[in-house]
Structure 1
Amino acid sequence: MRSQRPALLPYLLIAPSVLFLGALFLVPLFQTAVLAFQAGGGWSLNNVHRMMDDINFGEAVGNTFSVVLLAVPLQLALALAMTVLLRQVERGRDLILWVWSIPLGISDLAAGLVWLALLTDLGWVNTALFRLGLTDGPQSWLTYETPWTLLAAIVVAELWRATAIVFVILLAGVQLLPKEYEEAAEVFGASPWQRFRKVTLPLLRPSIQTALILRTVLAFEMFAMALALGGRNFPVLVSEAFNWQYGSQDYGVAAACAVLVMLISLAATVVFLVGFRTPAGQRS
Protein backbone atom coordinates (compact mmCIF):
# COMPACT_ATOMS: atom_id res chain seq x y z
CA MET A 1 0.00 0.00 0.00
CA ARG A 2 2.79 2.37 0.91
CA SER A 3 4.60 1.64 -2.35
CA GLN A 4 1.54 2.70 -4.31
CA ARG A 5 1.29 6.13 -2.70
CA PRO A 6 4.44 7.60 -4.29
CA ALA A 7 3.28 6.31 -7.67
CA LEU A 8 -0.16 7.94 -7.30
CA LEU A 9 1.15 11.21 -5.86
CA PRO A 10 1.99 12.90 -9.22
CA TYR A 11 -1.49 12.09 -10.56
CA LEU A 12 -3.12 13.46 -7.43
CA LEU A 13 -1.11 16.66 -7.71
CA ILE A 14 -2.11 17.30 -11.34
CA ALA A 15 -5.73 16.24 -10.83
CA PRO A 16 -6.96 19.78 -9.90
CA SER A 17 -5.35 21.21 -13.04
CA VAL A 18 -6.88 18.47 -15.20
CA LEU A 19 -10.33 19.07 -13.71
CA PHE A 20 -9.97 22.82 -14.20
CA LEU A 21 -8.87 22.33 -17.81
CA GLY A 22 -11.72 19.95 -18.48
CA ALA A 23 -14.40 22.17 -16.96
CA LEU A 24 -13.31 25.48 -18.50
CA PHE A 25 -11.77 24.36 -21.81
CA LEU A 26 -12.60 20.85 -22.96
CA VAL A 27 -16.32 21.02 -22.21
CA PRO A 28 -16.86 24.37 -24.02
CA LEU A 29 -14.68 23.08 -26.85
CA PHE A 30 -16.86 20.00 -27.23
CA GLN A 31 -20.01 22.12 -27.13
CA THR A 32 -18.61 24.44 -29.82
CA ALA A 33 -17.74 21.49 -32.04
CA VAL A 34 -21.23 20.06 -31.63
CA LEU A 35 -22.80 23.45 -32.43
CA ALA A 36 -20.66 23.76 -35.58
CA PHE A 37 -21.94 20.49 -37.02
CA GLN A 38 -25.59 20.79 -36.09
CA ALA A 39 -28.37 22.33 -38.16
CA GLY A 40 -32.11 21.70 -38.29
CA GLY A 41 -32.05 19.47 -35.22
CA GLY A 42 -29.49 16.98 -36.61
CA TRP A 43 -25.92 16.55 -37.76
CA SER A 44 -25.07 18.60 -40.84
CA LEU A 45 -22.26 20.34 -42.70
CA ASN A 46 -24.51 23.25 -43.53
CA ASN A 47 -22.65 25.64 -41.20
CA VAL A 48 -19.33 24.69 -42.76
CA HIS A 49 -20.68 25.23 -46.28
CA ARG A 50 -22.12 28.62 -45.35
CA MET A 51 -18.81 29.64 -43.79
CA MET A 52 -16.86 28.66 -46.91
CA ASP A 53 -19.37 30.25 -49.28
CA ASP A 54 -19.14 33.62 -47.54
CA ILE A 55 -17.62 36.32 -49.73
CA ASN A 56 -15.00 37.23 -47.10
CA PHE A 57 -13.92 33.68 -46.21
CA GLY A 58 -11.16 33.26 -48.80
CA GLU A 59 -9.75 36.70 -48.08
CA ALA A 60 -9.87 36.06 -44.33
CA VAL A 61 -7.93 32.81 -44.72
CA GLY A 62 -5.36 34.49 -46.96
CA ASN A 63 -4.93 37.46 -44.64
CA THR A 64 -4.56 35.24 -41.57
CA PHE A 65 -1.90 33.04 -43.14
CA SER A 66 -0.11 36.05 -44.64
CA VAL A 67 0.31 37.66 -41.22
CA VAL A 68 1.38 34.40 -39.58
CA LEU A 69 3.89 33.45 -42.29
CA LEU A 70 5.42 36.93 -42.30
CA ALA A 71 5.28 37.91 -38.64
CA VAL A 72 6.24 34.70 -36.82
CA PRO A 73 9.60 34.04 -38.62
CA LEU A 74 10.53 37.71 -38.30
CA GLN A 75 9.66 37.66 -34.60
CA LEU A 76 11.81 34.58 -34.07
CA ALA A 77 14.76 36.18 -35.88
CA LEU A 78 14.40 39.45 -33.96
CA ALA A 79 14.03 37.64 -30.63
CA LEU A 80 17.16 35.58 -31.30
CA ALA A 81 19.10 38.75 -32.18
CA MET A 82 17.82 40.52 -29.06
CA THR A 83 18.76 37.55 -26.89
CA VAL A 84 22.30 37.36 -28.29
CA LEU A 85 22.79 41.11 -27.92
CA LEU A 86 21.54 41.13 -24.35
CA ARG A 87 23.99 38.39 -23.42
CA GLN A 88 26.84 40.69 -24.44
CA VAL A 89 25.62 43.57 -22.25
CA GLU A 90 27.21 43.92 -18.83
CA ARG A 91 25.80 47.23 -17.55
CA GLY A 92 22.19 48.32 -17.82
CA ARG A 93 21.00 44.83 -18.70
CA ASP A 94 17.95 45.00 -16.45
CA LEU A 95 16.92 48.36 -17.91
CA ILE A 96 17.18 47.06 -21.47
CA LEU A 97 15.19 43.96 -20.55
CA TRP A 98 12.51 46.12 -18.96
CA VAL A 99 12.25 48.40 -22.01
CA TRP A 100 12.06 45.48 -24.44
CA SER A 101 9.36 43.84 -22.33
CA ILE A 102 7.06 46.88 -22.21
CA PRO A 103 4.81 45.63 -25.08
CA LEU A 104 3.93 42.59 -22.95
CA GLY A 105 1.94 44.88 -20.67
CA ILE A 106 -0.10 46.42 -23.51
CA SER A 107 -3.30 44.79 -24.71
CA ASP A 108 -3.82 43.92 -28.37
CA LEU A 109 -6.49 46.56 -28.84
CA ALA A 110 -4.50 49.30 -27.12
CA ALA A 111 -1.46 48.49 -29.26
CA GLY A 112 -3.65 48.56 -32.36
CA LEU A 113 -5.01 51.98 -31.45
CA VAL A 114 -1.48 53.29 -30.88
CA TRP A 115 -0.42 52.18 -34.34
CA LEU A 116 -3.65 53.54 -35.78
CA ALA A 117 -2.74 56.96 -34.38
CA LEU A 118 0.66 56.63 -36.07
CA LEU A 119 -0.60 55.57 -39.49
CA THR A 120 -3.86 57.42 -40.14
CA ASP A 121 -3.97 60.09 -42.84
CA LEU A 122 -3.26 62.81 -40.27
CA GLY A 123 -1.15 60.61 -38.00
CA TRP A 124 2.38 61.05 -36.78
CA VAL A 125 4.01 59.16 -39.67
CA ASN A 126 2.34 61.28 -42.35
CA THR A 127 3.08 64.44 -40.38
CA ALA A 128 6.78 63.54 -40.08
CA LEU A 129 7.07 62.61 -43.76
CA PHE A 130 5.38 65.85 -44.80
CA ARG A 131 7.60 68.04 -42.62
CA LEU A 132 10.68 66.28 -43.96
CA GLY A 133 9.52 67.08 -47.49
CA LEU A 134 9.18 63.41 -48.45
CA THR A 135 5.46 63.63 -49.28
CA ASP A 136 3.18 66.33 -50.69
CA GLY A 137 0.31 65.57 -48.32
CA PRO A 138 -1.42 62.84 -46.31
CA GLN A 139 -0.89 59.31 -47.59
CA SER A 140 -3.48 56.56 -47.07
CA TRP A 141 -1.85 53.44 -45.65
CA LEU A 142 -4.82 51.57 -44.20
CA THR A 143 -7.50 51.43 -46.90
CA TYR A 144 -8.81 48.69 -49.19
CA GLU A 145 -7.03 50.49 -52.04
CA THR A 146 -3.64 49.87 -50.38
CA PRO A 147 -3.78 46.19 -49.32
CA TRP A 148 -0.01 45.73 -49.25
CA THR A 149 0.67 48.69 -46.99
CA LEU A 150 -2.22 47.61 -44.77
CA LEU A 151 -0.72 44.12 -44.48
CA ALA A 152 2.73 45.60 -43.84
CA ALA A 153 1.32 47.88 -41.13
CA ILE A 154 -0.33 44.97 -39.32
CA VAL A 155 2.81 42.84 -39.56
CA VAL A 156 5.00 45.66 -38.22
CA ALA A 157 2.52 46.32 -35.41
CA GLU A 158 2.53 42.61 -34.54
CA LEU A 159 6.33 42.63 -34.54
CA TRP A 160 6.35 45.50 -32.07
CA ARG A 161 3.68 44.03 -29.85
CA ALA A 162 4.48 40.32 -29.72
CA THR A 163 8.22 39.86 -30.34
CA ALA A 164 8.72 40.33 -26.61
CA ILE A 165 6.83 37.07 -25.94
CA VAL A 166 9.30 35.09 -28.05
CA PHE A 167 12.23 37.05 -26.61
CA VAL A 168 11.34 36.28 -22.99
CA ILE A 169 11.01 32.54 -23.73
CA LEU A 170 14.33 32.41 -25.58
CA LEU A 171 16.10 34.47 -22.91
CA ALA A 172 14.90 32.07 -20.23
CA GLY A 173 16.17 29.18 -22.32
CA VAL A 174 19.58 30.79 -22.92
CA GLN A 175 20.08 31.42 -19.21
CA LEU A 176 19.71 27.69 -18.56
CA LEU A 177 22.30 26.62 -21.14
CA PRO A 178 25.56 25.19 -19.78
CA LYS A 179 28.43 27.59 -20.46
CA GLU A 180 30.92 24.74 -20.80
CA TYR A 181 29.87 23.94 -24.37
CA GLU A 182 30.46 27.46 -25.70
CA GLU A 183 33.68 27.77 -23.76
CA ALA A 184 34.95 24.51 -25.22
CA ALA A 185 33.98 25.64 -28.74
CA GLU A 186 35.82 28.92 -28.17
CA VAL A 187 38.93 27.08 -26.99
CA PHE A 188 38.92 25.05 -30.21
CA GLY A 189 38.81 28.23 -32.29
CA ALA A 190 35.13 28.49 -33.21
CA SER A 191 34.04 31.97 -34.27
CA PRO A 192 31.08 33.70 -32.54
CA TRP A 193 28.82 32.84 -35.50
CA GLN A 194 29.94 29.19 -35.43
CA ARG A 195 29.34 28.98 -31.69
CA PHE A 196 25.88 30.45 -32.14
CA ARG A 197 24.97 28.17 -35.07
CA LYS A 198 26.57 24.94 -33.87
CA VAL A 199 26.17 25.22 -30.09
CA THR A 200 23.58 27.78 -28.98
CA LEU A 201 20.89 27.10 -31.58
CA PRO A 202 20.81 23.30 -31.13
CA LEU A 203 20.66 23.66 -27.36
CA LEU A 204 17.88 26.23 -27.71
CA ARG A 205 15.72 23.88 -29.79
CA PRO A 206 13.19 23.17 -26.96
CA SER A 207 12.81 26.88 -26.20
CA ILE A 208 12.42 27.74 -29.89
CA GLN A 209 9.82 25.02 -30.22
CA THR A 210 7.84 26.38 -27.27
CA ALA A 211 8.07 29.97 -28.51
CA LEU A 212 6.97 29.05 -32.03
CA ILE A 213 4.00 27.02 -30.83
CA LEU A 214 2.78 29.74 -28.48
CA ARG A 215 3.33 32.59 -30.91
CA THR A 216 1.84 30.80 -33.93
CA VAL A 217 -1.31 29.82 -32.06
CA LEU A 218 -1.74 33.39 -30.81
CA ALA A 219 -1.10 34.74 -34.32
CA PHE A 220 -3.84 32.57 -35.80
CA GLU A 221 -6.14 33.99 -33.11
CA MET A 222 -5.28 37.58 -34.05
CA PHE A 223 -8.31 39.85 -33.91
CA ALA A 224 -7.95 43.20 -32.13
CA MET A 225 -4.89 44.37 -34.08
CA ALA A 226 -6.51 43.61 -37.45
CA LEU A 227 -9.78 45.20 -36.32
CA ALA A 228 -8.09 48.39 -35.09
CA LEU A 229 -5.94 48.94 -38.17
CA GLY A 230 -7.98 47.39 -40.96
CA GLY A 231 -11.55 46.91 -39.78
CA ARG A 232 -13.62 45.28 -42.52
CA ASN A 233 -10.88 46.11 -45.02
CA PHE A 234 -8.72 43.34 -43.53
CA PRO A 235 -10.86 40.35 -42.50
CA VAL A 236 -9.21 37.51 -40.59
CA LEU A 237 -10.66 34.21 -39.42
CA VAL A 238 -11.38 35.31 -35.86
CA SER A 239 -13.00 38.55 -37.01
CA GLU A 240 -15.24 36.50 -39.30
CA ALA A 241 -16.26 34.37 -36.33
CA PHE A 242 -17.01 37.57 -34.42
CA ASN A 243 -19.12 38.97 -37.27
CA TRP A 244 -21.12 35.76 -37.60
CA GLN A 245 -21.65 35.63 -33.84
CA TYR A 246 -22.63 39.24 -33.13
CA GLY A 247 -23.40 40.72 -36.54
CA SER A 248 -25.46 37.95 -38.09
CA GLN A 249 -26.43 36.22 -34.83
CA ASP A 250 -25.57 32.91 -36.50
CA TYR A 251 -23.93 30.89 -33.76
CA GLY A 252 -23.51 27.75 -35.85
CA VAL A 253 -21.35 29.39 -38.52
CA ALA A 254 -19.42 31.29 -35.83
CA ALA A 255 -18.72 27.95 -34.14
CA ALA A 256 -17.55 26.52 -37.48
CA CYS A 257 -15.07 29.40 -37.80
CA ALA A 258 -13.84 28.77 -34.27
CA VAL A 259 -13.38 25.06 -34.96
CA LEU A 260 -11.42 25.88 -38.13
CA VAL A 261 -9.06 28.17 -36.21
CA MET A 262 -8.61 25.44 -33.60
CA LEU A 263 -7.81 22.79 -36.23
CA ILE A 264 -5.28 25.05 -37.95
CA SER A 265 -3.64 25.81 -34.60
CA LEU A 266 -3.48 22.11 -33.72
CA ALA A 267 -1.94 21.32 -37.11
CA ALA A 268 0.70 24.02 -36.64
CA THR A 269 1.45 22.67 -33.16
CA VAL A 270 1.96 19.15 -34.52
CA VAL A 271 4.29 20.49 -37.22
CA PHE A 272 6.46 22.25 -34.63
CA LEU A 273 6.43 19.26 -32.27
CA VAL A 274 7.66 16.99 -35.04
CA GLY A 275 9.94 19.46 -36.82
CA PHE A 276 11.74 20.64 -33.67
CA ARG A 277 11.81 17.32 -31.88
CA THR A 278 15.03 16.92 -29.90
CA PRO A 279 17.08 13.90 -31.01
CA ALA A 280 17.29 11.16 -28.39
CA GLY A 281 21.04 11.52 -28.13
CA GLN A 282 20.76 15.19 -27.15
CA ARG A 283 18.18 14.79 -24.40
CA SER A 284 19.33 15.30 -20.87
Structure 2
Amino acid sequence: MKKLWLILPSILFMAALFAWPLVSGVLQAFSEPDSFSRMVDDPYFWEAARNTALLIVVLIPLQFVLAITMALLLREKPRLAGLHFYLWVVPLAISDLAAGLVWLSIFTDRGYLNSVLDHLGIDSYAWLSVENPGTMFLAVLIAELWRATSLVFVIVVAGLQNVPRDYDEAAAVLGATYWQRVRHVILPQLRPSLQVALILRTILALEAFAVAQALTGRSFPLLVGETYQWYYTLQNPNVATAIALVVLMLSIVASIGYLRVMRGAR
Protein backbone atom coordinates (compact mmCIF):
# COMPACT_ATOMS: atom_id res chain seq x y z
CA MET A 1 0.00 0.00 0.00
CA LYS A 2 2.87 2.36 0.80
CA LYS A 3 4.38 1.74 -2.65
CA LEU A 4 1.07 2.72 -4.24
CA TRP A 5 1.11 6.05 -2.38
CA LEU A 6 4.66 6.65 -3.60
CA ILE A 7 3.76 6.21 -7.26
CA LEU A 8 0.31 7.82 -7.00
CA PRO A 9 1.57 11.32 -8.03
CA SER A 10 3.15 9.79 -11.15
CA ILE A 11 -0.05 7.91 -11.96
CA LEU A 12 -2.14 11.07 -11.61
CA PHE A 13 0.33 13.05 -13.72
CA MET A 14 0.32 10.44 -16.50
CA ALA A 15 -3.47 10.23 -16.39
CA ALA A 16 -3.82 14.01 -16.67
CA LEU A 17 -1.17 14.33 -19.38
CA PHE A 18 -1.94 11.30 -21.57
CA ALA A 19 -5.03 9.32 -20.55
CA TRP A 20 -7.53 12.19 -20.43
CA PRO A 21 -6.47 13.75 -23.79
CA LEU A 22 -6.62 10.27 -25.34
CA VAL A 23 -10.12 9.61 -24.04
CA SER A 24 -11.21 13.08 -25.15
CA GLY A 25 -9.77 12.45 -28.62
CA VAL A 26 -11.58 9.11 -28.99
CA LEU A 27 -14.86 10.68 -27.88
CA GLN A 28 -14.31 13.57 -30.29
CA ALA A 29 -13.62 11.24 -33.24
CA PHE A 30 -16.70 9.09 -32.56
CA SER A 31 -19.03 11.96 -31.71
CA GLU A 32 -19.83 12.30 -35.40
CA PRO A 33 -20.85 8.93 -36.93
CA ASP A 34 -19.36 9.57 -40.36
CA SER A 35 -15.96 10.94 -39.23
CA PHE A 36 -13.99 7.87 -40.28
CA SER A 37 -15.96 7.37 -43.50
CA ARG A 38 -15.29 10.98 -44.50
CA MET A 39 -11.63 10.43 -43.67
CA VAL A 40 -11.26 7.35 -45.90
CA ASP A 41 -13.32 8.92 -48.69
CA ASP A 42 -10.95 11.88 -48.85
CA PRO A 43 -8.37 11.26 -51.63
CA TYR A 44 -5.87 13.44 -49.79
CA PHE A 45 -5.92 10.99 -46.87
CA TRP A 46 -4.64 8.07 -48.96
CA GLU A 47 -2.08 10.24 -50.71
CA ALA A 48 -0.91 11.51 -47.33
CA ALA A 49 -0.69 7.95 -45.97
CA ARG A 50 1.35 6.87 -49.01
CA ASN A 51 3.68 9.87 -48.74
CA THR A 52 4.19 9.38 -45.01
CA ALA A 53 4.96 5.68 -45.46
CA LEU A 54 7.36 6.41 -48.33
CA LEU A 55 9.11 9.09 -46.29
CA ILE A 56 9.59 6.71 -43.36
CA VAL A 57 10.82 3.80 -45.51
CA VAL A 58 13.44 5.95 -47.26
CA LEU A 59 14.31 8.44 -44.52
CA ILE A 60 14.86 6.20 -41.47
CA PRO A 61 17.52 3.89 -43.01
CA LEU A 62 19.41 6.86 -44.48
CA GLN A 63 19.37 8.66 -41.13
CA PHE A 64 20.70 5.64 -39.27
CA VAL A 65 23.46 4.97 -41.79
CA LEU A 66 24.59 8.62 -41.64
CA ALA A 67 24.27 8.88 -37.84
CA ILE A 68 26.17 5.66 -37.14
CA THR A 69 28.87 6.59 -39.65
CA MET A 70 29.34 10.04 -38.10
CA ALA A 71 29.36 8.58 -34.58
CA LEU A 72 31.99 5.98 -35.51
CA LEU A 73 34.13 8.69 -37.11
CA LEU A 74 33.84 10.76 -33.93
CA ARG A 75 34.76 7.70 -31.85
CA GLU A 76 38.17 7.68 -33.55
CA LYS A 77 38.77 11.12 -31.96
CA PRO A 78 39.90 13.12 -35.00
CA ARG A 79 41.33 16.59 -34.64
CA LEU A 80 38.77 19.14 -33.45
CA ALA A 81 36.39 16.30 -32.54
CA GLY A 82 34.44 18.60 -30.23
CA LEU A 83 33.92 21.11 -33.04
CA HIS A 84 32.75 18.34 -35.38
CA PHE A 85 30.22 17.20 -32.79
CA TYR A 86 28.73 20.66 -32.34
CA LEU A 87 28.58 21.27 -36.09
CA TRP A 88 26.72 18.01 -36.64
CA VAL A 89 24.13 18.75 -33.95
CA VAL A 90 23.41 22.34 -35.05
CA PRO A 91 20.22 21.27 -36.96
CA LEU A 92 18.88 19.85 -33.69
CA ALA A 93 18.49 23.40 -32.39
CA ILE A 94 16.48 24.55 -35.43
CA SER A 95 12.71 24.24 -35.44
CA ASP A 96 10.89 22.23 -38.11
CA LEU A 97 9.36 25.31 -39.71
CA ALA A 98 12.64 27.23 -39.74
CA ALA A 99 14.37 24.26 -41.36
CA GLY A 100 11.63 24.11 -43.99
CA LEU A 101 12.04 27.81 -44.75
CA VAL A 102 15.82 27.41 -45.05
CA TRP A 103 15.41 24.65 -47.61
CA LEU A 104 12.61 26.56 -49.35
CA SER A 105 15.13 29.32 -50.06
CA ILE A 106 17.29 26.67 -51.72
CA PHE A 107 14.71 24.76 -53.77
CA THR A 108 12.27 27.51 -54.76
CA ASP A 109 12.20 28.60 -58.41
CA ARG A 110 14.42 31.61 -57.72
CA GLY A 111 16.32 29.94 -54.91
CA TYR A 112 20.01 29.35 -54.39
CA LEU A 113 20.09 26.02 -56.24
CA ASN A 114 18.62 27.45 -59.45
CA SER A 115 20.90 30.49 -59.13
CA VAL A 116 23.91 28.17 -59.11
CA LEU A 117 22.54 26.24 -62.09
CA ASP A 118 21.98 29.48 -64.01
CA HIS A 119 25.53 30.57 -63.21
CA LEU A 120 26.80 27.27 -64.63
CA GLY A 121 24.73 27.73 -67.79
CA ILE A 122 22.23 24.99 -66.87
CA ASP A 123 18.50 25.58 -67.23
CA SER A 124 16.73 26.12 -63.92
CA TYR A 125 14.30 23.48 -62.72
CA ALA A 126 10.92 23.67 -60.94
CA TRP A 127 11.95 21.48 -58.00
CA LEU A 128 8.77 22.08 -56.00
CA SER A 129 6.27 21.98 -58.84
CA VAL A 130 3.24 19.67 -58.66
CA GLU A 131 4.30 18.41 -62.09
CA ASN A 132 7.53 17.05 -60.54
CA PRO A 133 6.44 14.88 -57.59
CA GLY A 134 9.79 13.08 -57.55
CA THR A 135 11.83 16.22 -56.89
CA MET A 136 9.17 17.45 -54.44
CA PHE A 137 9.67 14.27 -52.43
CA LEU A 138 13.45 14.60 -52.78
CA ALA A 139 13.36 18.16 -51.40
CA VAL A 140 11.29 17.09 -48.37
CA LEU A 141 13.55 14.07 -47.86
CA ILE A 142 16.75 16.12 -47.93
CA ALA A 143 15.30 18.74 -45.58
CA GLU A 144 14.15 16.10 -43.08
CA LEU A 145 17.46 14.24 -43.42
CA TRP A 146 19.41 17.41 -42.63
CA ARG A 147 17.11 18.45 -39.79
CA ALA A 148 16.59 15.20 -37.89
CA THR A 149 19.67 13.00 -38.41
CA SER A 150 21.41 14.88 -35.60
CA LEU A 151 18.90 13.44 -33.10
CA VAL A 152 19.85 9.87 -34.02
CA PHE A 153 23.52 10.92 -34.01
CA VAL A 154 23.33 12.22 -30.42
CA ILE A 155 21.64 9.02 -29.21
CA VAL A 156 24.22 6.82 -30.96
CA VAL A 157 27.14 8.88 -29.58
CA ALA A 158 25.67 8.53 -26.08
CA GLY A 159 25.33 4.77 -26.60
CA LEU A 160 28.94 4.46 -27.77
CA GLN A 161 30.11 5.89 -24.45
CA ASN A 162 28.89 2.65 -22.81
CA VAL A 163 30.63 0.34 -25.29
CA PRO A 164 33.93 -0.83 -23.72
CA ARG A 165 36.91 -0.51 -26.03
CA ASP A 166 38.37 -3.71 -24.57
CA TYR A 167 36.11 -5.92 -26.70
CA ASP A 168 36.92 -3.94 -29.83
CA GLU A 169 40.66 -4.09 -29.14
CA ALA A 170 40.49 -7.83 -28.39
CA ALA A 171 38.71 -8.48 -31.69
CA ALA A 172 41.37 -6.43 -33.51
CA VAL A 173 44.13 -8.48 -31.89
CA LEU A 174 42.39 -11.66 -33.05
CA GLY A 175 42.50 -10.37 -36.63
CA ALA A 176 38.98 -9.02 -37.11
CA THR A 177 38.63 -6.32 -39.74
CA TYR A 178 37.14 -2.95 -38.87
CA TRP A 179 33.84 -3.85 -40.52
CA GLN A 180 33.71 -7.17 -38.62
CA ARG A 181 34.34 -5.35 -35.34
CA VAL A 182 31.59 -2.85 -36.11
CA ARG A 183 29.12 -5.55 -37.12
CA HIS A 184 29.81 -8.16 -34.44
CA VAL A 185 31.16 -6.14 -31.50
CA ILE A 186 29.99 -2.52 -31.58
CA LEU A 187 26.50 -2.70 -33.14
CA PRO A 188 25.22 -5.53 -30.88
CA GLN A 189 26.17 -3.47 -27.81
CA LEU A 190 24.47 -0.43 -29.35
CA ARG A 191 21.15 -2.28 -29.70
CA PRO A 192 19.40 -0.54 -26.74
CA SER A 193 20.37 2.91 -28.04
CA LEU A 194 19.42 2.01 -31.61
CA GLN A 195 16.06 0.68 -30.38
CA VAL A 196 15.28 3.96 -28.62
CA ALA A 197 16.40 6.01 -31.63
CA LEU A 198 14.40 3.84 -34.05
CA ILE A 199 11.17 4.15 -32.08
CA LEU A 200 11.62 7.87 -31.50
CA ARG A 201 12.50 8.70 -35.11
CA THR A 202 9.66 6.60 -36.56
CA ILE A 203 7.12 8.33 -34.31
CA LEU A 204 8.53 11.75 -35.19
CA ALA A 205 8.55 10.86 -38.90
CA LEU A 206 4.88 9.90 -38.65
CA GLU A 207 4.32 13.37 -37.19
CA ALA A 208 6.34 15.19 -39.88
CA PHE A 209 4.47 18.27 -41.06
CA ALA A 210 6.11 21.69 -40.81
CA VAL A 211 9.02 20.99 -43.18
CA ALA A 212 6.74 19.64 -45.92
CA GLN A 213 4.22 22.42 -45.31
CA ALA A 214 6.90 25.11 -45.73
CA LEU A 215 8.31 23.50 -48.87
CA THR A 216 5.26 22.22 -50.72
CA GLY A 217 2.07 23.28 -48.94
CA ARG A 218 -0.61 20.66 -49.64
CA SER A 219 1.06 19.56 -52.88
CA PHE A 220 2.89 16.88 -50.87
CA PRO A 221 0.35 15.96 -48.15
CA LEU A 222 1.33 14.09 -44.99
CA LEU A 223 -0.93 12.59 -42.35
CA VAL A 224 -0.37 15.23 -39.67
CA GLY A 225 -0.74 17.91 -42.33
CA GLU A 226 -4.19 16.53 -43.07
CA THR A 227 -5.20 16.90 -39.43
CA TYR A 228 -4.22 20.56 -39.75
CA GLN A 229 -6.24 20.96 -42.95
CA TRP A 230 -9.36 19.35 -41.48
CA TYR A 231 -9.14 21.24 -38.19
CA TYR A 232 -8.26 24.76 -39.33
CA THR A 233 -9.13 24.98 -43.02
CA LEU A 234 -12.18 22.72 -43.22
CA GLN A 235 -13.31 23.44 -39.64
CA ASN A 236 -14.02 19.79 -38.85
CA PRO A 237 -12.26 18.72 -35.62
CA ASN A 238 -13.96 15.30 -35.64
CA VAL A 239 -12.28 14.13 -38.86
CA ALA A 240 -9.04 15.79 -37.76
CA THR A 241 -9.13 13.77 -34.54
CA ALA A 242 -9.89 10.58 -36.49
CA ILE A 243 -6.71 11.07 -38.55
CA ALA A 244 -4.77 11.84 -35.36
CA LEU A 245 -5.98 8.53 -33.90
CA VAL A 246 -4.73 6.74 -37.03
CA VAL A 247 -1.30 8.32 -36.49
CA LEU A 248 -1.42 7.27 -32.83
CA MET A 249 -2.28 3.67 -33.69
CA LEU A 250 0.49 3.52 -36.29
CA SER A 251 2.95 4.84 -33.70
CA ILE A 252 1.89 2.20 -31.16
CA VAL A 253 2.04 -0.63 -33.71
CA ALA A 254 5.48 0.50 -34.94
CA SER A 255 6.82 0.76 -31.38
CA ILE A 256 5.56 -2.69 -30.39
CA GLY A 257 6.90 -4.16 -33.63
CA TYR A 258 10.34 -2.67 -33.08
CA LEU A 259 10.45 -3.91 -29.48
CA ARG A 260 9.53 -7.45 -30.52
CA VAL A 261 11.97 -7.53 -33.45
CA MET A 262 14.88 -6.06 -31.48
CA ARG A 263 14.19 -8.35 -28.53
CA GLY A 264 14.03 -11.37 -30.80
CA ALA A 265 17.32 -10.41 -32.48
CA ARG A 266 19.28 -10.78 -29.24
Q: TM-score range by the shorter chain?
A: over 0.9
Give aligned pairs, total. 266
Give ranges in structure 2 of 5+ residues lacking alignment: none
In structure 1, how many angstroms separate the alpha carbons of the residues matched to 2:74 and 2:102?
27
In structure 1, how many angstroms separate the alpha carbons of the residues matched to 2:258 and 2:115?
43
In structure 1, how many angstroms separate the alpha carbons of the residues matched to 2:264 and 2:76?
27
Q: Are 2:127 and 1:126 aligned?
A: no
Shift of the alpha carbon at 1:37? 1.6
Letter in 2 for 1:33: V
Map of 1:66 onto structure 2: 54
Shift of the alpha carbon at 1:255? 0.6
Q: Are 2:256 and 1:263 aligned?
A: no
Moved more, 81-90 or 190-199: 81-90
Which entry has the higher C-alpha Rg, 1 or 2?
Answer: 1
Q: Are 2:7 and 1:21 aligned?
A: no
Retained in 2: the 8 A contact 1:206–1:278?
no
In structure 2, how many angstroms separate the alpha carbons of the residues matched to 1:82 and 1:192?
15
In structure 1, how many angstroms separate the alpha carbons of the residues matched to 2:149 and 2:82?
18
- The C-alpha deviation readout for 1:163-182, integer Å capped at 9, x for no partner, is 00000001100111122211
In structure 2, how many angstroms separate the alpha carbons of the residues matched to 1:15 and 1:180?
43
In structure 2, how many angstroms separate the alpha carbons of the residues matched to 1:82 and 1:129?
30
Map of 1:51 onto structure 2: 39
Identify the match of residue 146 of structure 1 among 112, 129, 132.
132
Letter in 2 for 1:167: F
Q: Are 2:99 and 1:106 aligned?
A: no
Retained in 2: the 8 A contact 1:51–1:253?
yes
Q: Are 2:71 and 1:83 aligned?
A: yes
The TM-score, its normalising length taken from structure 2, stands at 0.96
The TM-score, its normalising length taken from structure 1, stands at 0.90
In structure 1, how many angstroms separate the alpha carbons of the residues matched to 2:173 and 2:241?
58
3-state SS, counterpart of residue 277 of structure 1: helix
In structure 2, how many angstroms separate the alpha carbons of the residues matched to 1:151 and 1:161?
15
In structure 2, how many angstroms separate the alpha carbons of the residues matched to 1:27 and 1:235?
29
In structure 1, how many angstroms separate the alpha carbons of the residues matched to 2:207 and 2:8?
28
In structure 2, how many angstroms separate the alpha carbons of the residues matched to 1:98 and 1:17?
35
Identify the match of residue 241 of structure 1 among 208, 227, 245.
227
Letter in 1 for 2:154: V
Letter in 1 for 2:104: L
Alpha-carbon RMSD across the aligned residues, in angstroms, is: 1.6
In structure 2, how many angstroms separate the alpha carbons of the residues matched to 1:242 and 1:90?
45
Map of 2:184 onto structure 1: 198
Give ranges in structure 1 of 5+ residues lacking alignment: none
Q: Where do 4+ consecutive residues of structure 1 move more than 4 Å?
A: none
Map of 1:34 onto structure 2: 27
